[in-house]
């Protein structure tokens, strides 16, 4: 009988700290994105493909969340992008305190667009606010076209959905219309971008839209 009040308390405390993170980002003029996906969907690939095509003068930064290792953070650092690694040690999502601590170690005065790459998981990350301006869900074609139906909570929380690895749609007999209908059922206002980080198809359109959101 006590579980629900405890959960509400945890989420409320997290939301309060998320507001502090949001206020800090706004003071520095930083637009924050919470990038969520299952493992292997292409979160890091999307960040790198986006960073490569940002308009001159728009400076990216990254908070990289993983259960363990710094493999993805090392890829980002190799591109000269400021990055901080968060290893959750088993936790299946990032939370506002983790992000708040990471922000202390980033050169915020040198960042305009912050990508927060959440832990690979399509369940609980959407429940924990981080202080970002927008949630972005990345789905990979090899995962199948049923993800919006199976994980409605995640897709319902998204301001934008990126369907990555579009170059493999025919190989995996991916039903893009079925995917789109599922997304519209749970989130009719979400912006959908079909692209391939490998070939670059659709990436410029995504970047153009993203930079416009920053204002």
pLDDT digits (tens, 9 = 90+) for 73-120: 999 999 999 999 999 988 899 999 999 999 999 999 999 999 999 999
User: What is the C-alpha separation between 60 and 115, in angstroms, rounded?
Assistant: 7
Q: Please give the pLDDT value at position 90.
A: 84
In the chain, what are the domains? Answer: 3-214 (3.40.50.300)
What is the Cβ-side half-sphere exposure of residue 41, based on CA atoms within 13 angstroms?
27
Q: How confident is the model at residue 1 (pLDDT cuts 50, 70, 90)?
A: very low
Q: Express each pLDDT in 114-159 by its tens digit.
A: 999 999 999 999 899 999 999 999 999 999 999 999 999 999 999 9
112, burial (CB in 10 Å: exposed 0-12, middle 13-18, buried 19+)? middle
Q: What is the C-alpha to C-alpha distance for residues 161 and 37, in angstroms, rounded to an integer?
A: 10
Closest to 35 measured CA to CA, from 136, 126, 131? 136
Q: Which of 213, 31, 72, 43 is nearest to 138 (CA)?
A: 43
């Amino acid at each position: 009988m006590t579980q629900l009040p405890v959960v509400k308390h945890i989420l409320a405390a997290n939301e309060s700290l998320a507001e502090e993170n949001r206020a800090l980002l706004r003071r520095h003029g930083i637009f924050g994105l919470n990038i969520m996906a299952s493992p292997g969907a292409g979160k890091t690939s999307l960040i790198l493909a986006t960073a490569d095509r940002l308009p001159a003068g728009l400076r990216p930064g990254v908070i990289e969340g993983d259960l363990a290792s710094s493999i993805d953070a090392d890829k980002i650092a190799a591109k000269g992008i400021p990055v901080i690694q968060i290893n959750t040690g088993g936790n299946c999502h990032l939370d506002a305190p983790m992000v708040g601590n990471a922000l202390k170690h980033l050169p915020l005065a040198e960042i305009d667009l912050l990508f927060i790459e959440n832990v690979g998981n399509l369940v609980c990350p959407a429940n924990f606010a981080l202080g970002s301006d927008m949630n972005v869900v990345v789905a990979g074609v090899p995962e199948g076209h049923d993800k919006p139906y199976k994980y409605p909570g995640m897709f319902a929380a998204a301001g934008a959905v990126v369907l990555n690895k579009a170059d493999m749609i025919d190989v995996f007999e991916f039903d893009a219309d079925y995917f789109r209908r599922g997304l519209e059922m749970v989130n009719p206002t979400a912006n959908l971008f079909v692209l391939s980080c490998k070939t670059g198809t659709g990436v410029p359109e995504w970047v153009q839209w993203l930079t416009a959101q920053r204002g």
